[in-house]
Amino acid sequence: MSGFLLLMAQAVIYFAVMTLVLRARRSIGIGVFVCALGVMHFLETYLAAVFFIELPFGLISPGSTVMFSGKLAMILLLYIIEDSETVREPIYGLLIGNALMIALVLLLRFYEPAAGLSHLGPDLVLIDHVGVLMIWGTTLLFLDSLAIILVYELLARRWRGRVFLPILVSLTLVLTLDQLAFFSGLHLVAGTPNSALFGGWIAKMGAALTFALMATAYLRWVERMPAGGEPGGTAKLLGKLTYRHRYEELLSASVTDPLTGALNRRQLDSSGPAHIAQAAAEGRTLALVLVDLDNFKQVNDGFGHQTGDAALRVTVTALRASIRPSDEIFRYGGDEFVILAHGLIPEDLPAYAERLRAAVARSGQQDPVPPLTASIGAALYPRDALHFEGLFAKADQRLYEAKAHGRDRAAATDLD
């Protein structure tokens, strides 16, 4: 069999078997596909280091040309028909599994093989070479997997409705960079001749074309790609691929109220004194406004807690629409909210508080939320207090004065 036919036969068999497993993922589970994708990584690296086919344009490694290129094509195909949260599973699984294998093999260097089995002794030089290449290849595989998805998504958005071109170009670009990077490791570790650089690149370009054609055929006639791409921009996609969005979700959950989306009391307690310090350092004022819904227990008792929850949500929405982008809103208690606003002059504070009172009154006119009113107390640093606790206490005092004067009032100064 000629070298060219060998490579083509391997590519067709590889793609056919892997897509068969991929197609059956709904019935046998995605884990089967992920395992099949991962078990060949050692063989890929081993063949890339020791097994070459000589073609007219240079030396070709089936491990690098077919198996590695095919793996990237499979990762891209999985992303296209699923999503970023699914495809990141094999990406991180391969990284962790290969790192573990390398660590376990390195530990074997601390033990001498059994003397009576010297004829079966391991080729430690080869193991060392392959181990170094495994580290380098695993790192490149991780980076290549992220890169090919990001590049494809950018191209797919530009060439909407096209399938073949985004796949081909993304495979071509990423495999070109991979060839340059992986060959540098091969040359340093195994002394691979320079003829393998150009020959390997030509072969990988052929692999990119072959796998792009087969992937396009699969998406057109076997399993159609879903309409639309990954929602959000490139930054959001990268965040999902790198689990960054999980960190952001956890961070958001730790500082926000899950019902209303306002910042929570814990965040107010921790950031309140910092706001005072910032205002003092910048020579600015800091307003603290307390908003307390009037007779809110009657809403829960008369209309039910679901309606009460809806009332809290629309209240926060109304308050947020009435404050400046730099202002912050916190849910302090069940039906109490705190707003911090930098830079208000004393003369503007009453109008600011009144605007919030009116916003709450308007929010209660939305079905199914019953009419709502709020009593408001406001205080200003440094006029009313020099410390956060004192500022809060002064706003609280004015809040109760507003309630005592009939509710549905905003008090930014002491009432008579």
- Residues in contact with 394: Cβ distance below 8 Å, sequence separation at least 6, in sequence order: 377, 379, 384, 385
Please name every residue paired with 94 in a beta bridge, in sequence order, or none if there are none: none
Cα-Cα end-to-end distance for the chain: 101
For residues 137 and 190, what is the distance between their CA atoms, to the nearest angstrom?
14
Contact status, residue 315 vs residue 358, Cβ threshold 8 Å = no
Q: Does 83 participate in catalysis according to the annotation? A: no
Q: Which residues of 172-211 are buried (b: 16+ CB within 10 A; e: fewer)?
A: bbbbeebbeebbebbeebbebeeebbebbbbbbbbbbebb
Q: Cis bond leading into 122, ω under 30°?
A: no
AA letter at 394 = K
Alpha helices in 191-322 (DSSP H): 195-221, 234-241, 244-255, 265-282, 296-303, 305-322
Instruction: State which H helix or E strand residue 60 sits in.
Output: strand 58-60
Residue 102 DSSP one-character state? H
Q: State both tokens at 387.
A: 């410390």
What are the DSSP calls for 164-189, one per residue? HHHHHHHHHHHHHHHHHHHHHHHHHH
φ and ψ at residue 2, rounded to 5 degrees: -70, 160
Q: One of 144, 294, 335, 384 is an active-site residue; which one?
A: 335
What are the DSSP calls for 291-302, one per residue? EEETTHHHHHHH
Query: Hey, which residues are catalytic here?
Result: 335
